[in-house]
Chains A and B, each alone.
Chain A
Amino acid sequence: TQLLEQSPQFLSIQEGENLTVYCNSSSVFSSLQWYRQEPGEGPVLLVTVVTGGEVKKLKRLTFQFGDARKDSSLHITAAQPGDTGLYLCAGKSAAGNKLTFGGGTRVLVKP
């Protein structure tokens, strides 16, 4: 069974600070996706990383896929209150399109 562990589970920071969320597994994934979910809504896809060592930037968000394709990180620079939400990583195995989700990191950015 493939498992994805996210850390930390909860992060509370002040506006303007930086934060990093980690997603780790002992399994190899063919790709990894990051989603953000707000209360009462469905997860919204932020990015997909496919190649080991890949780095993708989306404005103030930087996503990295580990060289061995077992881990990933999400770094937010100069966080804003609008970044508040539940961040979920999800890995896809080579065998199919089923997503295995991490437990999520709840981020609170205080003004």
Chain B
Amino acid sequence: DSGVTQTPKHLITATGQRVTLRCSPRSGDLSVYWYQQSLDQGLQFLIQYYNGEERAKGNILERFSAQQFPDLHSELNLSSLELGDSALYFCASSVGGIGEQFFGPGTRLTVL
């Protein structure tokens, strides 16, 4: 158990809908990262937050957004969902902005 928690574990929704994925980092970690894992693209970095501020952006679509709250938990919002958004979404956390990252168990999103 890495100490990173993610909810929900599974999510099934329809195209065009909007969903919110939630992540709580390990105790004491200030940085949160979001990754997407699909069969054809592998693990891809989406976005990083550090102590509530956006720190780095990767291959994140404009339909996706994230935020980190004062209690350091983070949410990833996915809107206007398409079939191709079906994937595993992982959250990771690190102590600082450049430390080793520890991954949560993931949320499996299925868009029908």
Contacts and interface: CB of A to CB of B under 8 A. Distances in A.
A98 B43 contact: no
A98 B56 contact: yes
B55 A96 contact: yes
A104 B42 contact: yes
B52 interface: no
Given A96-B55, A98-B56, A103-B42, A44 B98 contact: no
Nearest to B45: A98
Interface in A5-34: 33
Interface residues of B, number: 27
B45 A100 contact: yes
Interface string B84-105: 0000001010100111111111
A99 B98 CA distance: 10
Given A42-B90, A43-B43, A104-B42, A97 B98 contact: yes
A11 B12 CA distance: 33
B48 interface: yes
Interface string A92-111: 00001111111110000000
Given A41-B105, A101-B42, A48 B100 contact: yes
